[in-house]
Amino acid sequence: MKVAINALHTAQGAAAGSGVPGATTRRPPLRQRWRGSRNLLPALLFLGLFFFAPLIGLLLRGVLEPVPGMGNYAQLFANSAYARVLFNTFSVAGLVTLISVLLGFPLAWAITLVPKGWGRWLLNIVLLSMWTSLLARTYSWLVLLQASGVINKALMAIGVIDAPLEMVHNLTGVVIGMSYIMIPFIVLPLQATMQAIDPMVLQAGSICGASPWTNFVRVFLPLCRSGLFSGALMVFVMSLGYYVTPALLGGAQNMMLPEFIVQQVQSFLNWGLASAAAALLVAITLVLFYFYLKLQPESPVGNAR
Amino acid sequence: MSAVMKDDTRARPLVSLRNLNKHYGDFAAVDNIDLEIQDGEFLTFLGSSGSGKSTTLSMLAGFETPSSGEILVDGQSLVNVPPHKRDIGMVFQRYSLFPHLSVRDNIAFPLAIRKQGAAETARRVDAMLKLVRLEAFAHRRPAQLSGGQQQRVAIARALVYEPRILLMDEPLGALDKKLREDLQDELRQLHRRLGITIVYVTHDQEEAMRLSQRIAIFSHGRIVGLGSGYDLYQNPPNAFVASFLGNSNFLRFTADGNDAGRFEGQAVAVRPTPGLAAGQEALIMVRPEKALALTVEQATREPLPAGWNEVGATVTELLFLGESQTCHVATQGGTPLTVKALSAAGMPMQPGQPVRVRWAVADACIYTEWAKSDLSKGAGAH
């Protein structure tokens, strides 16, 4: 994912880099500039047929069904139950991002700092957890968190609580489960960024008079920014559209947007409202992606290497 | 500050290293070093890689903790002081600038840490930018500068907070020759102007000679030679320093007394050397440019002056090097010798021709103790 985003970013940068001087100095003939673009045709055809066409079809349904107009969107924002779904979606995504950053940052740092062999093992564990079936991992959280689950039983046995905590079939369960699932997505880009930081720069910081804490805040953290940013954004965007984990660990009364879309389509056959909600999700993602592209070129480490 | 310039003023030691050791397991990276660094001095640690010079510098900076021993600055121990409280400036080999900050902010960083006022910071940063002649580049990022410019930023960053000691770890190693020589001149002038104490690490002996007032030669974690470049070159304290610094010819001879001996059966006179007894094996060291090679005709025309030695040899190779010429010869016993002369003086011999090699007794150093490895050139073929 990170690779894909980076590739896209590089492509953008390259386009901007070659486009600007071309515009100001000598503009090569159009035919020459587009030479070789024919090679793009198969990919464009594929994307057009299997991505853009269904997407446009979906977006059209949002404004055409059941009657043409913006009625579906108005409904989405006006109905308090629907607004609540939106609010849930954003707060869960935000909370999941925050928690996975807080947990992933030390983990990425540890992987970078420990001797190479150990670091690889830690990274393998992270990867392994990512590659294990999503369903299996989500159900195992169900086993751990449910009222008669391991955690509740253990806590009751040692007398910390009297009645089982409600940690599942509500947003708490969703946040716990999703934070766990998202950690690799923050650790991988962050670890790559940290690996690229020259440790001598930190030594330079400390000889310049920076205490370990100042060095962390003023040198290390700014240098991690690009990885932190791309990781956090990826987690946030993925969390907005995540379905399986909220469906299994969440409750019926506190839905997130993807569950809402599924419900509208499967239970009520309300394609119009579902399309509007999906379009909203796409729009939010695009806006976030725009900010990502805007901020990314400033990344010092990414550009230097 | 001006005391630096006068060699006769007895400067007081600013830094003292006492019995300093650094062990990694069984390996002694730094082996019982004692060293006094004078206030305002430009001292260079010279040695090949792995000789312990950089480890010693790291201990001074505080990045490495000594296994035992003391580091004193002004009589105060530094061993338990973390790097950020040592008030030492350092310039790293790979510049290590903060990539996320502009040139100006890089230089201002130490002042920002020290919570200097904005006006004072601006004034000092401007002065530093002027000193390293980078005013025009103040708003660039390090990645947009050349290597030489980056290193000048690093120097400015290390000097802006006016530390008493500046450590430089092979700061010019990554630059090309011309730029390196320019920066060496700048550094020398900077040291003269600021009067700061500089401890410089390099493996380049020419650089060490060019820059420093004193050189400490490191080998296997020890300081094996300490003194001015001139003294170390002209009168190396031991065979290792003689072979490490510049080029040298070693002639193994058997002493007949403390001022004479036989080299491959020929009588040679040597400097009166205490401890040199009859029958003892010892080494004569002659610098190639102190030796003369004469053809047999020249030798008969010019009688041997008093206080000179002469041995016979055969030319093996003659090299023309522009301003100088070197002549490689081998004695009857097979000892290879090198004679170097300015091209203008001329050496009219041919390979295979017999020659007479002469040197003044006063120019030859005598070593009674040496290890075989001392005589093979450790670093830098020049």
pLDDT digits (tens, 9 = 90+) for B220-245: 999 999 999 999 999 999 999 999 99
Which residue is listed with tokens 């729009």?
A: A283
Q: Is the CB of B288 inside 8 Å of chain A's CB atoms? A: no
- The first and second tokens of residue B141, run together, are 């990022």
pLDDT band at B186 (very low <50, low <70, confident <90, very high): confident
Whole-angstrom Cα distance, residue B366 to residue B369?
A: 9
B263 φ/ψ angles, rounded to the nearest 5 degrees:
-110, 115
Contacts of B112 in chain A (CB under 8 A): 218
Q: What percentage of chain B exceeds 90 in pLDDT?
A: 65
Whole-angstrom Cα distance, residue B283 to residue B205?
A: 23
pLDDT score, position A99:
96
pLDDT score, position B97:
94
Angle at B139 between CA B137 and CA B143, to 5 degrees: 75
Choose among A200, A209, A300: nearest Cβ to B84.
A209
Give the CATH number, domain containing residue B102: 3.40.50.300
Mean pLDDT for the stretch of residues B356-373 = 90
Cβ–Cβ < 8 Å for B169, B90: yes
Whole-angstrom Cα distance, residue B274 to residue B262?
A: 18
For residue B4, is pLDDT > 70?
Answer: no
pLDDT score, position A304:
38
Mean pLDDT for the stretch of residues B363-379 = 80
Q: B110 and B160: one domain?
A: yes
Q: What ranges make up the beta strands (E) of B80-212? A: 88-91, 165-169, 197-202
Q: B193 and B112: one domain?
A: yes
What pTM does this model have? 0.79
Judged by CB atoms closer than 8 Å, whether chains meet at A214 and B113 is answered as yes
Q: B261 and B280: one domain?
A: yes
Strands of the sheet with B27-38, listed across from one edge = B27-38, B13-24, B68-73, B76-77
Q: Is the CB of B174 inside 8 Å of chain A's CB atoms? A: no
Structural domain of B314: 240-375
Residue B6 lies in a domain: yes
Element (H, E) at A27: none
Cβ–Cβ < 8 Å for B188, B132: no
Q: B247 and B313: one domain?
A: yes
Cβ–Cβ < 8 Å for A210, B84: yes
Residue B118 lies in a domain: yes
For residue A19, is pLDDT > 90?
Answer: no
Cβ–Cβ < 8 Å for B259, B273: yes
Q: B71 and B208: one domain?
A: yes
pLDDT score, position A16:
39
Residue B380 lies in a domain: no
For residue A61, is pLDDT > 90?
Answer: no
Residues 6 or more apart whose CB falls under 8 angstroms from that of A148 comprise A164
Q: B97 and B144: one domain?
A: yes
pLDDT digits (tens, 9 = 90+) for A183-221: 999 999 999 999 999 999 999 999 999 999 999 999 999
Q: B247 and B286: one domain?
A: yes
Q: How many CB atoms lie within 10 A of CB B228?
A: 14
Fold of A80-304: MetI-like fold (1.10.3720)
Q: B293 and B342: one domain?
A: yes
Q: Which of A197, A207, A219 to mutate to test the interface with B (most CBs of B within 10 A)?
A: A207
Q: What is the ipTM of this complex?
A: 0.78
Average pLDDT over all residues of chain B: 89
Judged by CB atoms closer than 8 Å, whether chains meet at A207 and B97 is answered as no
What single-letter DSSP state applies at residue A50?
A: I
Whole-angstrom Cα distance, residue B316 to residue B328?
A: 6
pLDDT band at B348 (very low <50, low <70, confident <90, very high): confident
Out of B239, B268, B293, a domain closes at B239
**Range A165-171 contact pairs with CB under 8 angstroms and sequence separation of 24 or more:** A168/A141, A168/A142, A168/A249, A169/A249, A169/A250, A169/A251, A170/A250, A170/A251, A170/A254, A171/A88, A171/A91, A171/A92, A171/A250, A171/A251, A171/A254
Q: B261 and B228: one domain?
A: no
Cβ–Cβ < 8 Å for B250, B238: no
Residues 6 or more apart whose CB falls under 8 angstroms from that of A282 comprise A55, A59
Where exactly are the structural domains of chain A? 80-304
Task: Please compute, for residue A72, the number of CA atoms within 13 A of its CA located in the half-sphere on the CB side.
Answer: 25
Judged by CB atoms closer than 8 Å, whether chains meet at B89 and A206 is answered as no
Q: B155 and B283: one domain?
A: no
Q: Is the CB of B308 inside 8 Å of chain A's CB atoms? A: no
How many domains is chain B built from? 2
Q: State the amino acid at position B84 in one-letter form.
A: H
How far off is chain A from B42, nearest CA to CA, in Å? 20
Mean pLDDT for the stretch of residues B5-17 = 67
Judged by CB atoms closer than 8 Å, whether chains meet at A204 and B61 is answered as no
pLDDT digits (tens, 9 = 90+) for A229-284: 889 998 999 999 899 889 888 887 788 899 999 998 898 888 888 999 999 889 98
- The first and second tokens of residue A241, run together, are 């559209």
Mean pLDDT for the stretch of residues A14-22 = 40
pLDDT band at A174 (very low <50, low <70, confident <90, very high): very high
pLDDT score, position A12:
40
- The first and second tokens of residue B319, run together, are 């090299």
Judged by CB atoms closer than 8 Å, whether chains meet at B96 and A204 is answered as yes
Q: Which of A197, A200, A208 to mutate to test the interface with B (most CBs of B within 10 A)?
A: A208
pLDDT digits (tens, 9 = 90+) for B138-164: 999 999 999 889 999 999 999 999 898
Q: Is the CB of B224 inside 8 Å of chain A's CB atoms? A: no
Judged by CB atoms closer than 8 Å, whether chains meet at B109 and A218 is answered as yes
